[in-house]
């Protein structure tokens, strides 16, 4: 098919329910760049929504996958062990945020792994209800659709969804009415603790601790706007879980594998999860997800009750082993912690600059999980995104608030980060210069 016809063909034959940032057709990717079939080379600050975190076609990952494809492609988990599955566990164990997390179950997608965590939590506690956070994103399957509370679009028209899910406020300081009305005396470093009170009320009014199996939290809200919670808040939730025999499930599908400058975001908060959910960055683009928990909880499951055809695929596991090694060999976390402040530095300057300050409402994030929340009402985030695209750079918006999330590769070079910063700055300047629009 002629290159010029590919996009048209896609629009005609691909489900309309899939939204997309651009109708460009990607042909290849290398490091921080993707190239389209029309030869356009674009700087990628999306990483396929936090997946190709070590850049596109990372050479060591590609080599491991090529080798594995000559050894064993599919070693189904209900038939036997396979080597990359075991090697992956060996590689992941030292990365775990707590030594109690020692027993794994691998799946394919993030949603499936979240569902595996629901199954484990319900089965282990013999309780049914699940609490999730307002603004959360846990996936699009029938269970996870009802656990996702970032936008109505994900569940609208698909009911009935999984019952037994309750939601409560996430500590989103930039949008917290108490913080706003106290001139931001309360903030990330000084939580008003209202979300804790709301959680305690929920447990008194709607779902009693004796019916509540687990609280699911993204330790940095992802799709909901890249919002880190105050440390004191998360620690208090841990206490509430301990007091009430409720499991704390941390969904690190997006925040895990170095995105925040530590292997797992929970390390910033010194909070031990009972179940940790992972996916995305674990295999740099090969479909793989998983949960890890305490052996005593995992061993309560009846043999045969868990499994699935492709879960823990051998090629994906081999990719995961190579990813874990690359983190060590290439000092990836050090790079994350060096590059992150370069981007936030520019954004904070824009927030102070009278020429651009009217665009910016909040700059936040950890490591390279960074957000720019724009002033409401002017569609600034989508306009900045469109300008970046014109300048051959991919960035993503997110959340019901007017927010851009930046997800550059974790091993991005200083030069490519400088280039990205320059493009984003130009886009902000241009949008700020356009004047008010009526929407």
Ligand X SMILES: Cc1ncc(COP(=O)(O)O)c(C=O)c1O
CB within 8 Å of 39: residues ≥ 6 apart: none
User: Measured from the CB of residue 277, what is the shortest distance to ligand X in angstroms?
Assistant: 7
Q: Which residues bind ligand X (CB under 6 A)?
A: 49, 109-111, 114, 137-139, 218, 222-223, 251, 253-254, 279
CA distance 145 to 149: 8
- Residue among 383, 391, 392 at smallest CA distance from 428: 383
Cβ nearer to ligand X, comparing 136 with 175 = 136
- Which H/E stretch holds residue 203? helix 194-205
Smallest distance from ligand X to CB 226, Å: 11
Q: How far is CA 154 from CA 227, 230, 280, 283, in A?
A: 20, 27, 19, 26
Q: Which two tokens stand for residue 289?
A: 């997800």
Residue 24 vs 115, nearer CB to ligand X: 115
Identity of the residue, 137 or 286, whose beta carbon is nearer to ligand X in the bound complex: 137
Q: How far is the CB of 131 from ligand X (least distance, A)?
A: 16
Q: Is 257 left (phi over 0), alpha (psi -120 to 50) or beta?
A: left
Of 364, 366, 368, 347, nearest to 411 by C-alpha is 368
Query: Taking CB positions, which residue lies at the least distance from ligand X?
Result: 110
Q: How far is the CB of 223 from ligand X (least distance, A)?
A: 6
Backbone angles phi, psi at 247, to 5 degrees: -85, 140
Joined together, the tokens standing for residue 437 give 């629009």
Task: Please give the Cα distance from 419 to 290 (Å, whole number).
Answer: 35
CB of 18 to ligand X, least distance (A): 12
Residue placing its CB nearer to ligand X in the complex, 186 or 287: 287
Minimum CB–partner distance for residue 217 and ligand X (Å): 10
Closest to ligand X by CB, 47 or 176: 47
Instruction: Closer to ligand X by CB, 49 or 57: give it.
Output: 49
């Amino acid at each position: 098919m002629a290159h010029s016809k590919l996009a048209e063909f896609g629009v005609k034959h691909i489900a309309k329910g899939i939204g997309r940032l651009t109708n460009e057709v990607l042909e290849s990717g290398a490091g921080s760049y993707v190239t389209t079939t029309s030869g356009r080379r674009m700087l990628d600050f999306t990483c396929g929504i936090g997946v190709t975190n070590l850049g596109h076609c990372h050479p060591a990952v590609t080599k491991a996958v090529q080798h594995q494809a000559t050894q064993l492609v599919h070693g189904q988990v209900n038939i036997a062990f396979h080597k990359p599955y075991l090697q992956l566990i060996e590689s992941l164990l030292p990365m775990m945020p707590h030594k109690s997390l020692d027993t794994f179950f691998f799946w394919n997608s993030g949603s499936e792994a979240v569902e595996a965590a629901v199954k484990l939590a319900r089965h282990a506690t013999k309780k049914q209800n699940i609490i999730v956070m307002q603004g959360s994103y846990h996936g699009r399957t029938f269970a996870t659709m009802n656990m996702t509370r970032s936008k109505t679009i994900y569940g609208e028209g698909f009911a009935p969804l999984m019952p037994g899910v309750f939601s409560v406020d996430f500590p989103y300081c930039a949008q917290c009415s108490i913080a706003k009305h106290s001139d931001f005396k309360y903030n990330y470093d000084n939580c008003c603790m209202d979300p804790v009170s709301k959680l305690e009320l929920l447990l008194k009014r709607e779902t009693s601790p004796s019916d509540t199996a687990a609280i699911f939290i993204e330790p940095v809200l992802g799709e909901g706007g890249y919002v880190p919670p105050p440390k004191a808040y998360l620690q208090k939730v841990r206490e509430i879980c301990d007091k009430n025999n409720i499991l704390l499930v941390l969904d690190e599908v997006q925040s895990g594998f170095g995105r925040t400058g530590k292997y797992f975001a929970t390390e910033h908060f010194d909070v031990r999860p009972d179940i940790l959910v992972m996916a995305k960055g674990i295999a740099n683009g090969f479909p793989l997800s998983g949960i890890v928990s305490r052996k005593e909880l995992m061993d309560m499951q009846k043999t045969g009750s868990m499994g699935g055809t492709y879960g823990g695929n051998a090629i994906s596991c081999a990719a995961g082993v190579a990813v874990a090694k690359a983190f060590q060999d290439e000092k990836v976390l050090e790079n994350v912690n060096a590059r992150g402040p370069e981007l936030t530095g520019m954004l904070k300057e824009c927030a102070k600059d009278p020429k651009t300050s009217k665009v910016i409402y909040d700059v936040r994030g950890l490591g390279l999980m960074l957000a720019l929340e724009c002033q409401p009402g002017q569609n600034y985030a989508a306009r900045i995104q469109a300008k970046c695209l014109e300048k051959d750079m991919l960035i993503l918006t997110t959340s019901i608030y007017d927010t851009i999330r930046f997800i550059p590769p974790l091993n991005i070079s200083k030069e490519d980060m400088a280039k990205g910063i320059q493009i984003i700055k130009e886009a902000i300047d241009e949008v700020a210069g356009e004047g008010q629009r009526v929407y």
